[in-house]
Structure 1
Amino acid sequence: MSLRIAFCASRADIAQSALAGLTRRYGDHAEEGADVIVALGGDGFMLQTLHRTEENPAPVYGMNRGTVGFLMNEYSEHGLVERLEAAEEAVLNPLTMRVICTSGKERRGLAINEVSLLRAGPQAAKLRISVDGKVRLAELVCDGALVATPAGSTAYNYSAHGPILPIGADVLALTAVAPFRPRRWRGALLPKGAEVSFEVLEADKRPVMAEADSNAVRDVAQVHIRSEPSIAHRVLFDPGHGLEERLIREQFV
């Protein structure tokens, strides 16, 4: 039986052109019942695709037709079936974000890369950080803070000087964004099963927003973050170019 491939693409011209060429060559199966979903775009579109197909058991194979392609494979119209059959699979568990707003309203979101808190006004944020219900840092004055998965550790986390985590590591990175007090606080590595909670201090004077993979919530009072093992995103990579190799390589450039 031939491989049933479902294609999707970002709205960028280069991605749409690739979509047209690939569907002419390989056909296009509906996502429901497909053996594999091929996403054409950049990392942002890949994250959108993974979230959108969360309940679809088919793995997702990305090809880079965007600006950034850390989660993507190199684009080629040739030999796609053979590449898919030889691809290596990585399983990613997202973070779940539960936000309590200053109004008392509750919002939720999922993040494959990271959940971040950022100041939403001219003054620095003041955050209290607890892990599994125990206060670990009574006051962090900063531009923000984030919790990153291994898959997301090379994204915003790395830009904020957080550590790159091996893909198989059962840990999360807790990283401050431009910390002012404590000035030398370098963040923490936490067990994957830990729940990280942020309490926004002086929320009226120092407003904070929270974001889970571009799903933003404003007027935040509290944010509770934990890994969600019940959700497993299957992502395919060309042999020798999987996430583990990319994470190692990124540390030597």
Structure 2
Amino acid sequence: MGEDMSSGEAPTTSQRLALLHSDTEKASEAARELAERGEFVPLEEADVVIALGGDGFMLDTMHEMLDSHRVRPVFGLNLGTVGFLMNRYRSSGDIAARIAKAKPHRVSPLRMEAITQSGETITSCAINEVSLLRETRQTAKIEISVNDRVRIKQLAGDGVLLATPVGSTAYNLSANGPILPLDSQMLALTPISPFRPRRWPGAILPDRSRVTFRVHEPAKRPVAVVADQKEVRDVAEVHVEIARDKELTLLFDAGHALDERIVAEQFIT
């Protein structure tokens, strides 16, 4: 993650702003320009965080918020490629005024609890999705339960994922999963290259669901789980549910909100 650029004094607005940027040349140059025009505080003193970069850097910033003692709203400015989670970067204008008028969107991540073949338990959060993926050429075979009721005794294929509405337009969409409106209170359960049951398209679940994945023949057919960027290999069992105690806030310019982007994504051909 790029440096936290600060002058040590709060800006003229009532909100104290911290400035973070990715390591790309474009983001670094934009950060220098903003730092020359405004005053920023260190991250630990900030009320709002400005993130300069692409969607990957926004995810990194949001995970940093999850790991901190104080979760702050994040206002992203796109210096990457797609910028689905970001606002448009403009080299002119009052950034503090934009943030003051911004529309908040609250996002609850998934909490993943993975139990490895050796019995170790590893917990992590995912803002986009939790994915189970085969590690070798051997097809993964996975049992899927929802709220302790077995729904699929054995899914054979490359894997399966559980996505939030924010993540439904990412890997989930590439795997032919559904796009979920931001306020749908649903999760997308999507198979990845399924072999059996071949015609199972996945499922849309209420976000109060607790989903359990159990790996069949884990020694012969090893499976890894990935919570956003964090990978755990050789898992035997994985539990996933919404982490309601980890709510995050993203800020968007008026008319440039995430819910509208998710709707619009469904009409892109």
In the TM superposition, 1:80-119 aligns within 5 A as 80-119=95-134
Residue 72 of structure 2 contacts residue 248 of structure 2 at CA under 8 Å; is this kept in 1?
no
Matched, 1:12 2:24: yes
SS at match of 1:169: coil
1:14 deviates by 1.0
The match for 1:21 is 33
The match for 1:35 is 47
The match for 1:48 is 60
Measured in 2, the distance between the counterparts of 1:197 and 1:93 equals: 19
Query: How many residues get paired?
Result: 253
Measured in 2, the distance between the counterparts of 1:4 and 1:194 equals: 38
- Superimposed CA distance per residue, residues 4-56 of structure 1 (whole angstroms, 9 cap, x where no aligned partner): 21000111111111111111111221122312100011111101101112243
The match for 1:129 is 144
- Superimposed CA distance per residue, residues 38-76 of structure 1 (whole angstroms, 9 cap, x where no aligned partner): 001111110110111224342100011122311011111
In the TM superposition, 1:215-230 aligns within 5 A as 215-230=230-245
Amino acid at match of 2:258: L
More moved, 71-80 vs 50-59: 50-59
| 1:56 to 1:68, Cα distance in 2 relative to 1, 3 A | farther
1:77 deviates by 2.6
User: What is the RMSD computed on CA atoms of the aligned residues?
Assistant: 1.0
The match for 1:192 is 207
From 197, 206, 231, the counterpart of 1:182? 197
Amino acid at match of 1:224: H
**Matched residues, percent identical?**
49
Measured in 1, the distance between the counterparts of 2:99 and 2:185 equals: 27
The match for 1:250 is 265
Matched, 1:78 2:92: yes
Amino acid at match of 1:56: R
Residue 160 of structure 2 contacts residue 189 of structure 2 at CA under 8 Å; is this kept in 1?
yes
- Moved segments of 4+, more than 4 Å: none
Gaps of at least 5 residues in structure 1 are none
Measured in 1, the distance between the counterparts of 2:200 and 2:248 equals: 33
- Superimposed CA distance per residue, residues 100-141 of structure 1 (whole angstroms, 9 cap, x where no aligned partner): 000111111100000000110011110000011111000000
Gaps of at least 5 residues in structure 2 are 1-11
Taking structure 1 as the reference length, the TM-score comes to 0.97
Measured in 2, the distance between the counterparts of 1:63 and 1:142 equals: 38
Measured in 2, the distance between the counterparts of 1:229 and 1:125 equals: 30
Taking structure 2 as the reference length, the TM-score comes to 0.92
